Amino acid sequence: MPNQPKPADAPHFVYLASQSPRRRELLDQLGVAHRLLLPDDAQAAEALEDVAPDDTPASYVIRVTLAKGFAARARRQASGLPVAPILAADTTVTLDDAILGKPADAAQATQMLTSLSGRTHRVLTGVAVFDGKSAIGPLTGSFTGRATGAVTGVVTRVATGTVSERGTHAADGTAASDPLALARAAQHAFDEGLGRAASGAAALQPPGIGWQGPALRLALSVSTVRVRVLTAEDIARYVASGEPFGKAGAYGIQGRGAEFIAELHGSYSGVMGLPLFETAAALRQSGLSF
């Protein structure tokens, strides 16, 4: 069947709201043209990744992913850049429901790797694609979650969640424009849908969940990873290489850390930082051709 001509206003590229070279490489692998849309202040970007006391791994990844996307959308609007879809993502490693972020120093990297040694952990990567229009408006959509049942095997449950950007207000009654405020409002709706889509830890097994609305596509990729038993020498040598820094959980599966991975269930690209199956689907649903 011949290729259909693209509409004149169809997007030709996507903005990537990430400094990760791995995410750029993965988009290149898909053949997706992209431009970086980065924060002006590195500290402001790090503030979006702060963990709240009541965060679960899933809610944390969802909120940070959305906050990055809302912040990038505001930067695009303020700078007058051309309209195009915006892609944001965030990855975290979780062990026993504890969130393992990026190690601050060698001691923290050593501690994280020691805790992962000989155990199975989960890697959660959120990916959000905003359609790039000037106003998102009410966000409504369906959650689809997969859970493994002891008897019935794989089951799918669907629930809906709604959030209106116009309904989010600051303390003084004005419309909120802070990316974190917008992300938290969306997170609450997603959390409600998550609770109905699948219950308990079983909901966070591969492949994860998805949420789709008219102006925003969100996916949460979940993978389980088993690390072989690491010796103190293994850990010291790896930390000295510098690779653990800037990576959630203090390892990179695409680098030297690959030798530590005994088993993986889920998405290899998701563990790297951008699940390509979910990302490609969301970008195409946003009108991007590649």
Which amino acids are annotated catalytic? 90
Amino acid letter for position 207: P
Distance CA 137, CA 130 (A): 12
Distance CA 204, CA 194 (A): 10
- Cβ neighbors of 69 (< 8 A, separation 6 or more) are 17, 86, 87, 88, 128, 130, 183, 216
- Cα 290 versus chain centre, distance: 21
148 and 203 in contact (C-beta within 8 Å)? no
Residue 242: CB atoms within 10 A of its CB come to 11
User: Pick from 189, 130, 181, 136: which is nearest to 162 by CA?
Assistant: 189
Distance CA 58, CA 125 (A): 9
Distance CA 184, CA 182 (A): 6
Q: Following DSSP, what letter does each residue of 52-110 receive, concatenated?
A: PTT--HHHHHHHHHHHHHHHHHHHHHHHTPPP--EEEEEEEEEETTEEE---SSHHHHH
Tell me the C-alpha to C-alpha distance, in Å, between residue 54 and each of 57, 189, 195. 10, 16, 15
